Amino acid sequence: MIAEAALSTAVAGSLLSRWEARLKLPGLLILIFSFAIVQDLRLLAPLIITAALVYYLSGLPLSYLFSRLKLPGFFLLAIAIILPFWSGQSVLWQLGPLALRLEGLLGLLLIATKFIGILTVAVALFATTPLAQVTVALRSLGIPWLLTDLLLFTYRYIFQLARDLQRMRTAARLRGFVGGSLFSLKTLAHITGSMLVRSHAQAERVFQAMALRGYGNTSLPLPAFQPVLLDFLLLSIAVLLATGFVLGQYIF
């Protein structure tokens, strides 16, 4: 709890956290898309430096980034095992049927750098922007309110569904259930079906309660948009950097 409080304090005081979400979201998304189209290896160093700078401005510790890169890192590991030995014609080293190829190594370098850069900026974006602000920013970009509300509800209730599933699994184990065999499939199917029925019933109750409180009134205004000069300056820098990465494909 102390570590989480310290992390929240560090993030709250960062420059990226103070950036108006309705300008930060399009700015960093444009930067992410510019990362994705990079194909020139000479742009990889500026790309990773830019991503590191964005993450530094978020005030997040490196340990937080590493913890978020673990799961997607398995995808990168699979590419690292296959690509250098599969793609290209220039053989650098060979042992029997295995041949390490130059084009595969360069392709791996390109994919890995873009992968890390994109995820770094994405982690900084969503770690410094509460989900409520993200939905407001999406609404301001023209995303239908129904989709943004669906995003909020999904995030809100996925944790409750996980707790319900954990309680059902605990109850099943207390009654002698042992998973990991074909005979357990029937019990798992019952648990899954029960979760679906309970989730549907809960969704109906939540919707009815919200409808009684006026939910669905799309005429409600968005929160006041009060950017400062620094917000526009950061957006301009992000757009200029993205433009540089795009034009760099043709200049160099």
Cα angle for residues 244, 117, 83 (degrees, 5° grid): 110
Query: Between these two residues, 184 and 77, which has the higher pLDDT value?
Result: 77
- Sequence-distant (≥ 6) Cβ neighbours of residue 183 within 8 angstroms: none
For residue 123, give both structure tokens.
């982690």
Q: Report the distance separating Cα 211 and Cα 225, nearest Å.
A: 27
Nearest to 136 by CA among 154, 149, 122, 155: 149
- In this structure, are residues 58 and 120 in contact, taking their beta carbons and an 8 Å threshold? no
Other CB atoms within a 10 A radius of the CB of residue 16 amount to: 21
pTM comes to 0.79
188-236 confidence digits (pLDDT tens): 787 778 888 888 888 888 888 888 877 766 666 677 778 889 999 999 9
Domain ranges of the chain: 2-129+225-251, 144-212
- Find the range with the poorest average confidence among 161-170, 180-189, 228-237: 180-189
Instruction: Please check the confidence at residue 5 and state whether its pLDDT lies above 60.
Output: no
94 pairs with which residues across the strands?
Answer: 99
Task: Give the model confidence (pLDDT) of 50-101 as tens digits.
Answer: 999 999 999 899 989 998 888 888 888 888 888 888 777 777 777 777 778 8
